[in-house]
């Protein structure tokens, strides 16, 4: 904390405006749970435990809380007239959605359309053989027997569809693919395949899973345009994996192959 404070003090004389869109929950995680997990929320509500105004003031920065639309413009004017860093803590509705796929130069309507197209053409399902421990909770989010598998589990530990006894890797893949392929017709399509580790599954085992997935898709006439295997979105140390299939057309291929440089995705 002292190191953070010292670095913050070095920029106190500079003009710096940081805007926090504060919906009092883990926004993107909650949005994921809303869209794909039927509002089954897990470990996303902060209950105002994080006070960005007090944190900012504790670091020596001016902080302004904005709770109404009519307060936005005066707050920005006040911030820009202030020497040194300013944090705007802007309260927004916790159910507001954000669509992060932004084609260069596109309008908001086009951005929304592309994001919806991706949602409509992707199916995902996962399985796990162990839970994770969220640091804030300090204990496993659920319990699984040593011989049990949770089928359909969410990335944040949301309950799955059912539990089964332990099976060989190929059989687990077959269960997941059966659900995915029955929910969306991929026949004759090109797809992007993501085999995502939950955090505690070795990469070698993910490739064993991918080997069988590739065989099944080939048998069904589904061409894999691109395969990604690894820990792209984990559940800390959970042992498990998920399979995602995105149906592609020329537009989606171009977006998938577009240059990107983010902590989680580099192209």
Q: Which residues have CB under 8 Å from 236's CB, separation 6+?
A: 132, 133, 134, 199
**Distance from C-alpha of 40 to C-alpha of 33, rounded to nearest angstrom:** 6
Q: Which residues contact 146 (CB under 8 A, 6 or more apart)?
A: none
DSSP annotation of 44 reads: -
User: Nearest Cα to 79, choosing from 146, 17, 162, 136?
Assistant: 17
Of 13, 156, 162, 212, catalytic: 156
CA-based nearest residue to 118, from 249, 258, 265: 249
**SS3 state of residue 56:** helix
Provide the 8-state DSSP code for 120: H
Cβ neighbours for 167, distance < 8 A, ≥ 6 positions apart:
149, 175
At what angle are helices 169-183 and 203-219 packed, to 10 degrees?
Answer: 50
Q: Around Cβ 28, how many Cβ atoms within 10 Å? A: 12
Instruction: Let me know if 156 is a catalytic residue.
Output: yes
DSSP letter, residue 134: -
State the Cα–Cα distance between residues 62 and 197, nearest whole angstrom. 42
- Residues with catalytic annotation? 156
């Amino acid at each position: 904390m002292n190191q953070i404070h010292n670095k913050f003090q070095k920029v106190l004389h500079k003009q710096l405006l940081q805007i926090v869109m504060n919906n009092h929950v883990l926004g993107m995680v909650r949005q994921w749970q809303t869209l794909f997990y039927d509002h089954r929320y897990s470990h996303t509500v902060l209950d105002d435990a994080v006070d960005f105004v007090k944190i900012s003031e504790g670091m020596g920065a001016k902080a302004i809380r904005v709770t109404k639309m009519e307060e936005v413009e005066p707050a920005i004017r006040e911030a820009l007239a202030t020497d040194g860093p300013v944090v705007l803590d802007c309260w927004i509705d916790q159910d507001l959605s954000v669509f992060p796929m932004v084609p260069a130069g596109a309008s908001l309507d086009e951005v929304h359309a592309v994001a919806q197209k991706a949602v409509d053409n992707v199916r995902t399902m996962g399985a796990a053989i162990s839970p994770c421990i969220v640091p804030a909770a300090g204990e496993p989010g659920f319990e699984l027997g040593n011989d049990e598998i949770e089928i359909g589990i969410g990335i944040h530990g949301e309950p799955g569809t059912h539990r089964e006894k332990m099976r060989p890797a190929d059989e687990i893949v077959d269960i997941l693919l059966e659900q995915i392929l029955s929910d969306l017709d991929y026949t004759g399509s090109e797809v992007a395949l993501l085999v995502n580790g939950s955090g505690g599954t070795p990469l070698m085992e993910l490739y064993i899973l991918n080997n069988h997935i590739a065989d099944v898709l080939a048998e069904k006439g589904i061409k894999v345009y691109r395969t990604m295997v690894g820990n792209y979105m984990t559940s800390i140390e959970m042992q498990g994996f998920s399979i995602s299939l995105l149906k592609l057309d020329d537009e989606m291929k171009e977006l998938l192959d577009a240059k990107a440089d983010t902590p989680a995705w580099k192209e």
